[in-house]
């Protein structure tokens, strides 16, 4: 996968946060990653009853708080004519109805299966009430059995950033706190883990906030990037020639004009996709470099390497989708339907000290993707029906249009014959 890094510290157990670390909720706990998703839908509906519009402006203020603290922020900031307890009472059944729709974040199932499969003691520590935790993980296959210990926010006197929930976890695992590794997405969680005397890996859930996690022992972009061997734990063995196979996912739409950097600045012509309608998908998939197959409606199927993220070298203000089709085209194809099948992951998004180093890394990504897509593991997805769906659809529309025209011509001839 990469050059081996030195061991940071050997640990004997792992304590995981839930919301924002393993599952893509929003907490209510309200830990929220933008204005879309399950929690966003619930809040929009509930606040509408009060004549208010949820816009997600509290997202950073409520990350990692307890449910009552989060509710207090929303009630106060929106000046709602109800008590905090009344608000919690109203929103709770709405949330329970949505727990079945919560998705595991990329890498979560892989991590839990890997650690439990190697008999690494696992604890789940969340500020959410026990009933919320039990309900959420009941929809994630194998999770409940994988955790030897679950500690909830309503089982301790003080939630995160207090260290109590982590110390209780170590106590129930019967392992010294100093030999525990905490994996957290929020600042309160990182603070609590360090106060408990534990090693902490941060996976920030709020975009572009990595610089705030200075207390963490390591900061990574997503759980996909965790290297357990740095902590004396069994390494993942599923990386293949610098690539991580993924459960495939699809995305598509018309090719749009990007930032004007691809061809002009980088010499790399990307076929940008609009992010409109994909905010939930973008919040679900971490920033990084992916690869797979691209289908153009009128041209065919091509190899593709793609960046999803903020492009820190250019400091984008919005998360973007920038595929690079690995083929020399004669001209632009703005407006054409582009369909992508993403099959693997290469690396997290990174910043670079120079334009030259950025370009060199992109070309290295291309070489890795091209080599991987020749192998049977990834090559089989070239025939994914999704890639050709747009082509079939367009051809069908043309055929139908021609049939309709012929039919009208026939009717006109019949009309004149009768006349």
Strand 337-348 to strand 244-254: parallel, antiparallel, or no bridges (unpaired)? antiparallel
Distant-in-sequence, close-in-space partners of 147: CB < 8 Å, separation ≥ 6: 122, 123, 124, 137
Query: CB pairs under 8 A, 24+ apart, for 269-273?
Result: 269/324, 269/329, 270/322, 270/323, 270/324, 271/323, 271/324, 271/325, 271/333, 271/338, 272/320, 272/321, 272/322, 272/323, 273/321, 273/323, 273/338, 273/340
**Is-catalytic flag, 322?**
yes
| H or E element at residue 246 | strand 244-254
- The Cα 222–Cα 224 span in angstroms is 5
Q: From the candidates 19, 69, 337, 365, give the one annotated as an active-site residue.
A: 19
**Nearest-angstrom CA–CA distance, 96 and 30:** 13
How remote is the C-alpha of 363 from its chain's centroid?
25
In the structure encoding, which two tokens stand for residue 417, read together?
A: 């014959």
Contact 122, 16 (CB under 8 A): yes
Which is the catalytic residue, given 322, 349, 365, 384?
Answer: 322
- Tell me, yes or no, if 86 is annotated catalytic: no
- In terms of DSSP bridges, do strands 180-184 and 199-202 run parallel, antiparallel, or are they unpaired? parallel
Residue 55 CB partners (closer than 8 Å, separation 6+)? 35
Whether residue 38 contacts residue 52, with contact meaning beta carbons closer than 8 Å, is answered with: no
Assigned token pair, 157: 């006197």
DSSP-derived 3-state class of residue 105: coil
- Catalytic residue numbers read 17, 19, 322
């Amino acid at each position: 996968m990469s050059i081996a890094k030195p061991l940071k510290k050997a640990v004997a157990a792992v304590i995981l946060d839930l919301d924002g670390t393993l599952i893509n909720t929003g907490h209510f706990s309200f830990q929220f990653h933008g204005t879309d998703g399950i929690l966003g839908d619930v809040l929009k509906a509930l606040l509408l009853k009060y004549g208010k519009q949820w816009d997600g402006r509290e997202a950073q203020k409520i990350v990692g708080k307890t449910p009552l603290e989060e509710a207090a922020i929303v009630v106060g900031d929106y000046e709602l004519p109800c008590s905090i307890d009344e608000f919690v009472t109203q929103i709770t059944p709405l949330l329970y109805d949505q727990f079945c729709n919560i998705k595991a974040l990329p890498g979560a199932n892989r991590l839990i299966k890997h650690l439990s499969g190697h008999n690494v003691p696992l604890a789940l520590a969340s500020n959410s009430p026990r009933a919320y935790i039990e309900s959420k993980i009941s929809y994630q296959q194998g999770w409940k059995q994988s955790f030897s210990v679950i500690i909830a926010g309503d089982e301790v006197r003080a939630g995160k950033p207090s260290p109590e929930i982590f110390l209780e976890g170590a106590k129930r695992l019967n392992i010294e706190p100093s030999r525990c590794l905490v994996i957290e997405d929020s600042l309160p969680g990182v603070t609590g883990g360090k106060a408990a005397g534990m090693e902490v890996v941060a996976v920030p859930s709020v975009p572009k906030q990595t610089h705030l996690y200075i207390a963490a022992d390591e900061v990574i972009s997503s759980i996909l990037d965790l290297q357990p061997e740095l902590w004396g734990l069994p390494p993942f063995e599923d990386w293949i020639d610098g690539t991580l196979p993924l459960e495939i996912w699809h995305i598509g739409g018309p090719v749009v004009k990007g930032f004007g950097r691809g061809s002009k600045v980088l010499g790399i012509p990307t076929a940008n996709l609009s992010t409109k309608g994909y905010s939930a998908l973008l919040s679900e998939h971490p920033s990084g470099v992916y690869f797979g197959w691209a289908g153009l409606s009128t041209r065919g199927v091509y190899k593709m390497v793609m960046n999803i993220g903020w492009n820190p070298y250019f400091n984008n203000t919005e998360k973007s989708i920038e595929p690079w089709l690995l083929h020399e085209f004669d001209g632009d194809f703005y407006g054409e339907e582009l369909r992508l099948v993403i099959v693997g992951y290469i690396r997290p998004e990174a910043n670079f000290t120079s334009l030259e180093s950025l370009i060199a890394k992109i070309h290295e990504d291309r070489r890795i993707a091209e080599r991987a897509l020749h192998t049977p593991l990834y090559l089989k997805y070239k025939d994914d029906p999704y890639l050709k769906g747009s082509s079939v659809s367009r051809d069908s529309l043309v055929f139908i249009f021609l049939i309709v025209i012929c039919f009208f011509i026939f009717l006109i001839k019949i009309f004149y014959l009768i006349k």
